[in-house]
Chains A and B, each alone.
Chain A
Amino acid sequence: GNSVTQMEGPVTLSEEAFLTINCTYTATGYPSLFWYVQYPGEGLQLLLKATKADDKGSNKGFEATYRKETTSFHLEKGSVQVSDSAVYFCALSRGGYNKLIFGAGTRLAVHP
């Protein structure tokens, strides 16, 4: 079946450090891939997405590239800020009905 696997957290970084959060997926066909972010006390919100192989999604300095050959969609940011502290969820969508399958989430803590 379809599934998403994320690296376990928490990830703890100093401000301005480089961030990578790994995400791999298992799916039939060609899923769309997403990163959602959950700030403390809030619901999830879409961070970025990619709908086909080799697409790069980007937003707020975050990037992720849809790699079909490695079934991966790793999230990266060149210089994190304290305000990036949150839980990040990788997700995939199949079937055309916005029925997302989420990974377990990775908590990021950025310290000054």
Chain B
Amino acid sequence: DADVTQTPRNRITKTGKRIMLECSQTKGHDRMYWYRQDPGLGLRLIYYSFDVKDINKGEISDGYSVSRQAQAKFSLSLESAIPNQTALYFCATSETDRPNTGELFFGEGSRLTVL
């Protein structure tokens, strides 16, 4: 089983619908992240969380919200989906006691299509 699990892996939805992408991890890491990947743009950080009580906006947080339900769970929500949120979304984790090591552990991604 994967250490970082994302659900759903694929979702097609319509404009205006609410969507939740879920992430769970068994690595025991405190830090969790949500990125989106767009062709030609690489990965951009949406939100990150250093522990259950700490949530921070990334560079492209508008239109998104997150919830850290537990150390192991970090959900990303699109309250009212729009077509330009069509992308591949990745959850990632990292260790706390090695700041700036740069090693993130990624899930397999959730492909979201907004029609």
Contacts and interface: CB of A to CB of B under 8 A. Distances in A.
Interface of A: 4, 32, 34, 36, 41-46, 49, 51, 89, 91, 93, 95-100, 102-105
Interface residues of B, number: 26
A104 B42 contact: yes
Given A91-B102, A95-B100, A98-B102, A42 B42 contact: no
Contacts of A42: 108-109
Contact of A89 (B43, B58, B92, B101): B43
Contact of B40 (A36, A49, A95, A104): A104
A102 B102 CA distance: 11
B31 interface: yes
5 contacts: A43-B92, A43-B106, A44-B92, A97-B48, A104-B42
